[in-house]
Structure 1
């Protein structure tokens, strides 16, 4: 898998390779079990049931790094943050920021397009209880590293959705940019900001999970502020 990620010639090649990964037995078993049993509301739909590639423009200046696909969201539709409540919140915010052409993301063929933005996850398979293990994160890391390498010429800022994504970013600095990560690592927090000299800036944002959005821990205004800051740092109008 490491070698396959490294030789991906472009994003289309990488996306196809990601979709055919079977490296983590626990995640493979879970994603396929969910696809077989399905949620009652989606009983008549055929689930994707495979790893979920990134989504967005190949010349992205803004990257959005998530945790992993949702069992009945990306694992169902085949597109990251598509078909679940988290995606509803995220794409509504991206639309308000002028980074998406529509505020909803319900299916892979719904016409959604991003501007100056690409979304990807630290782990590409839906994990049980939305909790991938550190070992699974590390096994999946070559896909993230190659994706960032392919958009490196334009990438200026990364928004990390949650502490797991924040932690997954630091190895990218060494593997893609040849830069030693800061020590000690900057602490995650909503609105946290770290900048290097020759690498993309990193912004922290609470994850767009229902646990955060339903309780008011993450509000639309808080999301708007993060994406406004990301646009400023990336030089996006």
Structure 2
């Protein structure tokens, strides 16, 4: 098989065969996320290392299977098929945290909440409140820019049935912890989408720089908590929001106005 490197925006590099299927990234795979994350001194380096992670065999197998088999509507597209880095500027004051990439969304496009209906809802609301340059997100190179906001997740690979195992979640934890450390000077708000993400992110925040109160803050839409800094820096505002899943948005559990209200609150707390 003849293989071809395909340049990607923002310094990313796709690795695909000429049939349009992403093959396994074989150059220097990352098998120890904790060590690789700890050694990353800037977000660009961290993002590149995340995209080479092969630490969880079940997730590697699944993400690549999805990238090969594809969904019929995307059969002519080249899937990203690898771990998905965070997206947003290095001076972000707000971090929006989901749970994991969608199989035919970010696992296809290579960017968080891009290419699926959940992302359509999220980016429309972010644009409405001034956190995104445009209301749509189709794929890398579509011109989307986030304003003082970064979107990320505690699990970087699309998991089967959208359910990572506890071991996979814990293996992936150092990536997000390091990302927050690298954002430490500017981040003031972490907005978590969904209860599963809320539970996953609390130990990450502790690993990064903040003390999680006991008892732990409970998730709810509009829930707020202040996490004191453990390093002498700024405290962190933790916000909860129902996930932008189709189940929530189609049933009205989460409406566009509810989402905009939480994003406005995040802007207020972040001072932007």
Shorter-normalised TM-score: what interval?
over 0.9
For 2:228 and 2:164, the matched residues in 1 are separated by 31
Higher RCO structure (Cα 8 Å, ≥6 apart): 1
Note if 1:76 corresponds to 2:108: yes
| 3-state SS of 1:83 partner | coil
Q: Tell me if the contact between 2:211 and 2:227 (Cα under 8 Å) persists in the aligned partners.
A: no
Q: Tell me if the contact between 2:97 and 2:192 (Cα under 8 Å) persists in the aligned partners.
A: yes
The correspondence for 1:92, drawn from 118, 124, 127, is 124
For 2:108 and 2:137, the matched residues in 1 are separated by 13
Task: Give runs of ≥4 in structure 1 deviating > 3 Å.
Answer: none
Per the TM alignment, residue 181 of structure 1 is displaced from its structure 2 partner at its CA by: 1.9
Unpaired stretches in structure 2, ≥5 consecutive residues: 1-31, 230-234
Per the TM alignment, residue 131 of structure 1 is displaced from its structure 2 partner at its CA by: 1.0
For 1:129 and 1:214, the matched residues in 2 are separated by 19
Per the TM alignment, residue 174 of structure 1 is displaced from its structure 2 partner at its CA by: 2.5
| 1:213 counterpart residue number | 249
| Residue-pair matches, total | 235
Per the TM alignment, residue 172 of structure 1 is displaced from its structure 2 partner at its CA by: 2.6
The correspondence for 1:191, drawn from 219, 222, 243, is 222
TM-score by length of 2: 0.85
For 1:196 and 1:81, the matched residues in 2 are separated by 26
| 3-state SS of 1:195 partner | strand
The correspondence for 2:46, drawn from 14, 35, 40, is 14
Note if 1:231 corresponds to 2:267: yes
Per the TM alignment, residue 194 of structure 1 is displaced from its structure 2 partner at its CA by: 0.5
Per the TM alignment, residue 129 of structure 1 is displaced from its structure 2 partner at its CA by: 1.0
Structure ID, larger Rg: 2
CA deviations over 1:72-91 (Å, ceiling 9, x no partner): 00000101100000000000
